[in-house]
Structure 1
Amino acid sequence: MPKQRLSKSIVDQLEALDTETVYWDAALPGFGVRIKPSGSKSYVVQYRVRSSGRSRRKTIGQHGPLMSFAQARSIATGLLSDVVRGGDPVAEARAIRVAPTVQDLCNQYLEAHAIPKKRPKSVANDRSMIDRLILPEMAAHKVSEVGHKDIQSFHNSLKATPYQANRALSLLSKMFELAIKWGMRSDNPAKGIGKFQEEKRHRWLSQDELNRLGQALDRHPNQTAANAIRLQLLTGARIGEVLTAKWSDFDLDRGVWIKPSHHTKQKRTEHLPLSSAAVTLLSGVMSNRAGSDFVFPGRSGDKPMIDLKKFWRSVLSVAEISDYRIHDNRHTYASQLVSNGASLAIVGRLLGHTNPMTTQRYAHIADDPLRAATEVMVGKMKLTVSVNKGT
């Protein structure tokens, strides 16, 4: 192919031939300009990979307003210098082009980790956060190019919803930890980002509210859903555990609920003692059993009830109770036990807490029976306490 000392003026003067032609620069070996029969001119570099001896050609850009001769020659100099140091610009560009994106990482996380290893509800929560929060912000970002600053900005953008922001940050951190194991990058950009302060809910029902809730449950036409709530209040179980419970999970003779590991948050089998009231409730439900394996079946019978939101709103409206979630029934259960003398350790066991600190939110309630006990001696001695105001 033609070789001559190239310059801007020479490139401008070069004319197209009947076939594609490359004019190589005599001053910078490996740098040239390619001219197609259409007249289009593009700058290229050609080199031989030192490790394999293979010849490579890379297009730098098209000659014109956006790519001058001087710019192209400067880029070519840098690329050819990389080759001398053992680099392969074509392979590196291809690697960047096909490198996995955050979209790819999310897909692999769901398919290879979440779906086979997490509970269906947890998978649904992860998928929701991915679709609503993560992908709209960084779907097309290359996994290897996401930086600490990108994750920090994303987390800060969710400041108005701190709980959601922290859950999304934890999910991203887990995905990037897996990205390291999967060879997508060498570090975790989500590591070291401080979470927002979360206000823990301390909402449970007073005795009066609990009475009103019971009356509202008694009057509701959907007694299947009402019984599910009653069982939750009698056991402190998560509503998901209640709704997915099967008759095979219960030994009513011994009064035990054997929660399968795939239904519990901690992914371990739990043996929960049942109160006599819970056994009576379940025995009554069983007597009206319609052949389903589920204690609280949905309409089809082959699947459990799924959504109690509409039911729960109507019950709370009748009971005149506000700012109270179904999950708060666990707090009501725990508060009743603690206020009647049950230790925090026992309550934690019944609730399935693996971390004792989780049960500490009820610690101040435990003071009530202790305070009542201190009054016993006062009554026995019939002491009259007076204040000495001095002379």
Structure 2
Amino acid sequence: MSKIRLSKSVVDKLAPCPFDTVYWDTSLIGFGVRVKPNNTKSYVVQYRSKTTGRSRRKTIGQHGPLMSFAQAKEIATGLLSDVLRGQDPVAEAKSKRDAPSVQDLALQYLEIHAIPKKRPKSVANDQSMLNRLILPKLGNHRASGVGHKDIQTLHNSLKQTPYQANRVLSLLSKMFELSIKWGWRTDNPVKGVEKFHEEKRYRWLSDDELGRLVVALNQHQNQKAANAIRLQLLTGARIGEVLTARWVDFDLERGVWIKPSHHTKQKRTEHLPLSTASQELLAGIFDIKNEGSEFVFPGRSPQKPLVDLKKFWRTVVTKAKIQDYRIHDNRHTHASQLVSSGMSLAIVGRLLGHTNPMTTQRYSHLADDPLRAAAEIMASKLK
């Protein structure tokens, strides 16, 4: 170990030895320059951590055009001052290097939160958004280093698909909310990023369209898929609930569909009364089933439910000459028929499994129809 008063000219004149040699500055204790046998010179600081008592050495940079002696000494002075205040620059730098990335955060989110607590379909949607949209842009970023601007830039890049962009924003918000609880960062960078405007869909079938849909279902060769749609229309259930329904979920003697909590969006067990038509439909399906499956609508393998009706649905709505109408809109058609017939919004909401009454309010204007008809009764008498 050599101790000399370092300066730019002294450092320039230092000659290499057969082994690494460190020359320590006598004017700033802990600051030195390391000379390698190939004459590469690098500035270093060495100190003892006040917290652990361990000796630490940190390389500041290589002597040359990008790092002058004056710059190196100024940096060393700052680092050694931090040490006097109880900090540990080497440990802090290592902590930053080892800090979890957004990729790590995504894995933790899926393993600790999504998979144990969300429905499989929701988990699949999260994984799809992560793999396609989030991780390609932010995956290598440190979770602690992602800023508001990073989130805003990603959200803006998805403006052509506003619904998807907003779902990505919600997913990121939940992930960073959890990162705060896990001690990975102290704030949520998603806060304050404004969502894109979403036009809410209020599409349901008129009586004429509904009639054409029934005919198209009756004429289609795939009656298993047709029966799934019929059950959805009769019950107002989500198509996912219909396709994953098991025979043990139905009590046909009492006329009740007991939806397990892990199959419902609200994550609670629901008891849905079945109409006579629903019971007859299920009884007919049960009579002809020969797959030996626990599912009401088994897929190609009896051990798994029917999964995808997209191709079938396109064929049916095309045949029925119905435009801009999704399978999910069958819930709206079910609800609109009930409300138009005089059923209260509260009861319709319960049948559909709505926990928020405002969700059912989209049908409120239809409730005027039976009231208006009732008001006309007295008018007809006076005529």
d(CA) in 1 for partners of 2:138, 2:78: 31
| 1:16-74 deviation line (CA, Å, top 9, x unaligned) | 10111001112211111101112221111001112232110001112222222222112
d(CA) in 2 for partners of 1:222, 1:73: 80
| 1:63-113 deviation line (CA, Å, top 9, x unaligned) | 222222222112111111111111100000000000011110001000111
The answer to whether 1:179 aligns with 2:167 is no
1:354 positional shift: 0.3
TM-score normalized with structure 2 length? 0.97
Letter in 2 for 1:365: L
Matches within 5 A, 1:91-130: 91-130=91-130
Matches within 5 A, 1:299-338: 299-338=300-339
Letter in 1 for 2:19: T
The answer to whether 1:371 aligns with 2:380 is no
The answer to whether 1:36 aligns with 2:36 is yes
Which residue number corresponds to residue 69 of structure 1?
A: 69
Unaligned stretches of 5+ in structure 2? none
Which residue number corresponds to residue 50 of structure 1?
A: 50
d(CA) in 1 for partners of 2:368, 2:157: 41
d(CA) in 2 for partners of 1:160, 1:346: 38
Unaligned stretches of 5+ in structure 1? 383-391
d(CA) in 2 for partners of 1:151, 1:196: 14
| 1:324-347 deviation line (CA, Å, top 9, x unaligned) | 110000001011111111111111
1:208 positional shift: 1.1
Which residue number corresponds to residue 140 of structure 2?
A: 140
d(CA) in 1 for partners of 2:138, 2:69: 36
Matches within 5 A, 1:1-391: 1-290=1-290, 291-382=292-383
1:129 positional shift: 1.1
User: When the two structures are aligned, how many residues end up with a matched partner?
Assistant: 382
Q: Secondary structure at the match of 2:164?
A: helix
Letter in 2 for 1:22: V
Letter in 2 for 1:222: N
Q: Aligned-residue CA RMSD in angstroms?
A: 1.1
| 1:218-277 deviation line (CA, Å, top 9, x unaligned) | 111111111000000000000000000000000111110000000000000000001111
| 1:134-169 deviation line (CA, Å, top 9, x unaligned) | 112211111111222322332233233222122111
TM-score normalized with structure 1 length? 0.95
Q: Secondary structure at the match of 2:61?
A: strand
Which residue number corresponds to residue 387 of structure 1?
A: none
Letter in 1 for 2:215: Q
| 1:274-314 deviation line (CA, Å, top 9, x unaligned) | 11111010000000112100000001110000111111111
Q: Secondary structure at the match of 1:52?
A: coil
Q: Secondary structure at the match of 2:32?
A: strand
